Amino acid sequence: MSLAPQELENTASKYASQAIKFDSQGARGMAISNYQQAIDALVKLLQLYPNSKLNQIYKDRCNSYHNRICSLQQSRGVEPAVDPEASDSDQKASVKRQEDENDFEELVMKVKPDVTWDQVIGLDEAKSALRESIVYPTKRPDLFPLGWPKGMLLYGPPGTGKTMLAAATANEMDGYFINVDASSLMSKWLGEAEKNVAKLFAMARKYAEKEGKAVILFVDEVDSLLGARSSEVGGEVRTKNQFLTEMDGVNGKGKQLMLYVIGATNKPWSLDAPFLRRFQKRIYVNLPTQDARENLFDQYTAKLNKNSTVSSAQLAKLFDGYSASDIKDVCQAAQIKTVHEIFDAPDYHEPIEGEARIQPRSLTADDFKNIMSRRKPSVSLEMIRAYHKWSEEFQAL
């Protein structure tokens, strides 16, 4: 059975959050094995879809899980001998500090993500809001004597393009993109979450100051910062407060640093008022409209062999309520079905040298209808209503 990318991504997330849970309980073995399974799922994703635009992000996640496994393995059975007087431990501490810094450095994407604005279909409001807030001030800071918004929250149902939008923004500008997944961030620096939120922002500032270039700190699943687990009592409150303080620094009028924080969440209702206030722009990343769905079908069937019954406009009507990522998965499933037919044919044989390779038949409208009957939209109407309701109150463009 072949797995759609979204399913693999979900599997990876599931293992990662299990790992985090075990990690927070000190169950090292289980944590390691779950981190490993999360890595395996991501590696499979990378292998199956080598051209996916989000691969750099998946690689970064693999790295961060891998590092956590290494540090869990190193600390196995070795109790840290803490003796503040001993020079030996000073040395250890400095090595540790160095390691910490390296941990953060590797979150900085040196290569631009390979996603352009054009590839992000629909979402015109979201795109222009990001452009206006990031690209314009970066080009002409002198035109903004009162400053400009630095905190942006992208919220909406899963699979609608939040991560993609952040990647496209980073691609558009000349600067650095720091990508952290808040949930793995909390696990990675367990017990030190508060201190490390500070270090993360310090590193982002360092990059912004050093070269005067724009820096985007993209915090995916930002809601998990609020539910941050910590081994210390009150740790989660302090972590959140640290984040708020750092956001105040970013929003401060004094410095004209090009440091932006983009948060993404599909649970906006779990964010409280102080948190929301620091994200002056709150951008709803909605399900695709009829037009957008048509463009999505154009984009995702462009490379496929299809007959004249396949019309993007009609498919768009049929797939009302499906997310962008659902539509991509549907196109992929349709294509894969025709490949399965080749392998399942009674006369299938390994290609003989010199013989033309069998190609899949062309796709028909019925193929898509077939898939639709077996695949429901991943977002329910009820959920959509909840997002709309929240938007009415909190959206800020």
Q: Give the residues lining the site for Mg ion (CB under 5 A).
A: 162-163
Q: How far is the CB of 51 from ligand ATP (least distance, A)?
A: 10
Q: What distance in Å separates the CA atoms of residue 240 and residue 365, rounded to the nearest whole number?
A: 50
8 near ligand ATP, judged by CB under 6 A: no
Residue 203's binding partner among Mg ion, ligand ATP, none (Cβ under 5 to 8 angstroms by kind) is: none
Q: Give the count of beta carbons closer than 10 Å to the beta carbon of residue 14.
A: 14
Q: Scan for tokens 């708020």, then name that residue.
A: 244
Q: Are 183 and 17 a contacting pair, CB within 8 Å?
A: yes
Q: What distance in Å separates the CA atoms of residue 157 and residue 161, rounded to the nearest whole number?
A: 9
Q: How far is the CB of 146 from Mg ion (least distance, A)?
A: 32
Q: Which of 324, 330, 331, 363 binds ligand ATP (CB under 6 A)?
A: 324
Q: What distance in Å separates the CA atoms of residue 126 and residue 132, rounded to the nearest whole number?
A: 10
Residue 282 pairs with which residues in a beta bridge?
153, 396
Q: How far is the CB of 118 from ligand ATP (least distance, A)?
A: 10
Residue 288: DSSP 8-state: P
Give the closest residue to 269 by CA, choosing from 390, 395, 397. Answer: 390
Instruction: Say how many residues touch ligand ATP, by CB under 6 A.
Output: 19
Angle between the 5-24 and 28-48 helix axes, to the nearest 10 degrees?
160
Residue 161's binding partner among Mg ion, ligand ATP, none (Cβ under 5 to 8 angstroms by kind) is: ligand ATP
Using CB under 6 A, which of the segments 154-162, 174-182, 188-196, 206-214 binds ligand ATP?
Answer: 154-162
Q: Scan for tokens 């980073």, then name that residue.
A: 170
Q: Which of 8, 16, 54, 185 binds ligand ATP (CB under 6 A)?
A: 54
Q: Which of 121, 215, 219, 287 binds ligand ATP (CB under 6 A)?
A: 121
332 near ligand ATP, judged by CB under 6 A: no
Displacement of CA 358 from its chain's centroid (Å): 37
Q: How far is the CB of 290 from ligand ATP (least distance, A)?
A: 14
152 near ligand ATP, judged by CB under 6 A: no
Q: Which residues bind ligand ATP (CB under 6 A)?
A: 53-54, 120-123, 158-164, 266, 285, 296, 324-325, 328
